[in-house]
Amino acid sequence: MELSLDGKVVLVTGGGAGLGRACVLAFVTAGAKVSVCDVSQEALDALATEVRELGGEIHTAVCDISNAEQVGSFFRATVDALGSLDVCLNNAGISAPLAPLGETSEADYDRVMSVNLKGTWLCMREALRIMTAAEGGNIINMASALSKKTYPGSCFYTTSKFAVAGMTRNTAVEYAAQGIRINAICPGNVLTPLLENTVSDEVKEHLAASHPMKRLGTPQEIANAAVFLASDASSFMTGALVSVDGGWTAM
């Protein structure tokens, strides 16, 4: 099975921390050139040092994926800097504090939807413009186990991730005949800054215990799936919502 990404240009959003960072390092290890955006310049600088230490080539830009202008210039700069766009991993996403719907705020709704849903749409649109002209490409969206099941108190996050799953499947069908594959990864709970900042230690323990494998996932386990989907080894896959969740959604 060919898992090499040799010579491929892979773009990653929100690559400065957590799952995105692990995916960037895994893509570089598999031979890809990477273009990475984040809202944190500091995180991008640290990542660029790590990538160069691995012998990899990286382009970085500060870009908020909910801003159409910034997204447009990041994608154009990627092609200018690295020559093409073969794979686009739409990873950036945020959570909101857990609360039942009756206690949620309009500000949290707008914040979560503008990054998780609008931001993913904006990035898919830019990627598809480039990939349609190139007559091929590969898009991977970071959805969630909460694209398939629910968790009380996570209304906006869950709703946004169900929508990302819908957008993945709909767009995969629209572009399959044009040689563009579009899949999503649906991680279970993985210890990253996102989870650290959203839930208490008690909830973390509850989450770990609720996965049939009785533990949280690791960023590397999600990155392994991303490399597979980015590679030609997954050439007959499109429109798939790939669970990497220790059995959480099987329950």
Query: Considering only 80-88, 169-177, 189-197, 235-243, which stretch makes contact with ligand NAD by CB under 6 A?
Result: 189-197
The alpha carbon of residue 56 and the mean position of all alpha carbons in its chain are separated, in whole angstroms, by 20
Query: Considering only 27-35, 76-84, 101-109, 193-201, which stretch makes contact with ligand NAD by CB under 6 A?
Result: 193-201
Interface with ligand NAD includes 246 (CB under 6 A)? Answer: no
DSSP one-letter code for 154: B
Exactly one of 8, 11, 13, 24 binds ligand NAD (CB under 6 A); that residue is 13
The alpha carbon of residue 44 and the mean position of all alpha carbons in its chain are separated, in whole angstroms, by 16
Q: How far is the CB of 62 from ligand NAD (least distance, A)?
A: 8
Q: How far is the CB of 47 from ligand NAD (least distance, A)?
A: 9
How far is 137 from 182, CA to CA, in rounded Å?
9
Interface with ligand NAD includes 126 (CB under 6 A)? Answer: no
151 is catalytic: no
Could you give the C-alpha distances from 158 to 65, 75, 96, 122, 206, in angstroms and in order? 19, 27, 10, 19, 18
How far is 119 from 63, CA to CA, in rounded Å?
11
Q: Do you know the residue count of the chain? A: 251
Interface with ligand NAD includes 86 (CB under 6 A)? Answer: no
63 three-state secondary structure: coil
Exactly one of 10, 39, 87, 124 binds ligand NAD (CB under 6 A); that residue is 39
Task: State the number of binding residues for ligand NAD (CB under 6 A).
Answer: 30
H/E stretch holding 38 reads strand 33-38
Interface with ligand NAD includes 38 (CB under 6 A)? Answer: yes
Sites for ligand NAD among residues 42-61 (CB under 6 A) = 43
Q: Pick between residue 65 and residue 236 the one whose CB is nearest to ligand NAD.
A: 65
Contact yes or no for 93/115 (Cβ under 8 A): yes
Interface with ligand NAD includes 16 (CB under 6 A)? Answer: yes
Exposed/middle/buried for residue 209 (C-beta within 10 Å: 0-12, 13-18, 19+) = exposed
H/E stretch holding 242 reads strand 241-244
Q: How far is the CB of 178 from ligand NAD (least distance, A)?
A: 26
Exactly one of 5, 9, 12, 20 binds ligand NAD (CB under 6 A); that residue is 20
Q: Which residues bind ligand NAD (CB under 6 A)?
A: 13-14, 16-20, 37-40, 43, 64-66, 91-94, 115, 119, 142, 144, 187, 189-190, 192-195
Residues known to be catalytic: 157
